[in-house]
Amino acid sequence: MASISRESNGRKMIQVRCPDGKRRSIRRGKCTMKDAQLFRVRVESLMSAKLTGRAPDDQTSRWLGNLPTKMARTLLKCGLIDFNPTEALGPFLDSYFRKRTDVKSSTVVVWSHTQRNLIEYFGENRTFDSVTPGDADDWRRSLTRQGLRETTIRKRCQVAKQFFRAACRAKLIEDNPFSDLQSGHAANRQRDYFITHQEAERVIAGCPDDEWRLLFALSRWGGLRCPSEHLALEWTHVDWDAATIRIQSPKTQHHDNGEERLLPLFPELRPHLEAVYHESSGEGPIITRYRSANSNLRSQLLRIIKRAGLAPAQATI
C-alpha cells in the first residue's frame, strides 16, 4: 500500500496511493530506515482507516497528535486525514498533557477540568484558528450557566489562556482569543469568617480520633493548607526543643524560598501533636490514617461541624 524509496542524496520518501487514486510522494528527509519504516506503517494504518471508514488505532492517533504541523498538513493534503490534528483542540491538548511531565498530578487534575469544559463546548476537532474572542466570551458564559462559582470560572479561564498561549507558541495562531477574559484569583471577602477559640474547641471535641484533632488544629492554629501540607509533614520536621515545625509547601515550592517555612509549636497545637506522637513510631509521616485519595476530608469535616452543633458556614477551615 505504501513503499519507501531513496533519493540520490540519501533522503527517504514514502510513495503512497492516496484515497483519490493518485500516487504521491511524502518526503521524510534524512532519517534512518527504521524511522522511515515506522512512518510507512502509520501511513498504511491511516489508509486502512480511510478505506474502512473507521477511526485510526490508538497508537496511530497518538502519533498524529505528536506530528509536526507541516507534516500533518501534508497528510491532510494527501487525503489521509480529515483535519489537521496538530491544529485541532482535542488532539493538541492530549499531546500537551503528555508533554507536561514537569507538573504534579494534582495540577494535571485541575487542568483536566478546563480541558473537559473546552471539549464539551467546542468539540474535539475544532481548530484553534477558528476560535474567536467572541467564542471565548460565550464559553465563559457557558460556565456561568453550569452554576460554577466565579472563583472556579476565573481559574478555568486562566488555564484556558495557558492552553491557547501554548498554541500561539506552536505558531498555530497569532493571537490568544482568551487573553481578555477575567481570570486568576478573586477573593470573596463575604465568605471570610473568624473561627473563635470556643468554636474550634467544639469542633475538636467532635473529631473521631487524635489524627483528626491534629488535622483541624494544624489548619486552625497553624494555617496549613489542607491536605497537601498536612500529608507532607513527617516527624523529622518537628523540633521539640526549638518548639518549631518545618512546613513543606508543595503549592509554593516553585517560588523563591517558598518550599518551606517554620511554624511555631503553639500551645494550642502541642497537646494534639504529642497525642499522635505517642501513638506512632516517631518516624515517617505524621498523618497516616487519611492519606488515601478516597479520604474526602471536606465531607468528613462538614459532618464533624454539624455534630458540634455549628453551621458549616460558621466554622470552615
pLDDT digits (tens, 9 = 90+) for 136-158: 999 999 999 999 988 899 999 99
Could you say which DSSP state residue 281 is in? -
Percentages helix, strand, coil for the chain (3-state, rounded to 5) are: 50, 10, 40
Contact yes or no for 49/56 (Cβ under 8 A): yes
Q: Are strands 260-264 and 23-29 parallel, antiparallel or unpaired?
A: unpaired
Report the pLDDT averaged over residues 124-133.
Answer: 90
Q: State pLDDT tens for residues 170-211.
A: 888 999 999 999 887 666 677 778 889 999 999 999 999 999
Averaged pLDDT for residues 218-238: 93
pLDDT, tens digit, for every residue of 6-57? 877 778 888 888 888 888 888 888 888 888 888 889 888 888 888 888 878 8
* Chain position carrying cell 497537646: 271
What letter would DSSP give residue 68?
-
Taking all residues of the chain, what is their mean pLDDT, rounded to a whole number?
87
pLDDT at 317: 43
Q: State the distance between the two ends of the chain, measured CA to CA, in whole angstroms.
A: 64
- Residue 222: the pLDDT is 93
Q: How confident is the model at residue 287 (pLDDT cuts 50, 70, 90)?
A: very high
Provide the pLDDT for residue 316. 44
Neighbours of 64 (CB within 10 A): 23
Give residue 253's pLDDT band: very low, low, confident or very high (50, 70, 90). Answer: low
Say whether pLDDT at 295 is over 80: no
Task: Using pLDDT thresholds of 50, 70 and 90, give the confidence band for residue 236.
Answer: very high
**pLDDT given for residue 256 in this prediction:** 61
pTM above 0.85, yes or no: no
Matching residue, cell 513503499: 3
* Rounded Cα–Cα distance for residues 308 and 301 (Å): 10
CATH code matching the domain that covers 193-314, chosen among 2.50.20.10, 3.20.20.70, 1.10.443.10, 1.25.40.80:
1.10.443.10
Q: What is the pLDDT of residue 315?
A: 44
What percentage of the chain has pLDDT greater than the value 70?
Answer: 92
Greater confidence (174 vs 257) lies with 174
* C-beta of residue 238 within 8 angstroms of C-beta of residue 273: yes
**Res 314 pLDDT > 60:** no
Between these two residues, 86 and 210, which has the higher pLDDT value? 210
Greatest mean pLDDT range, 1-5, 62-66, 280-284: 280-284
Reduce the DSSP state of residue 133 to 3 states and report it: helix
Quick one: cell of 259? Answer: 518550599
Enter the C-alpha cell of residue 76. 491532510
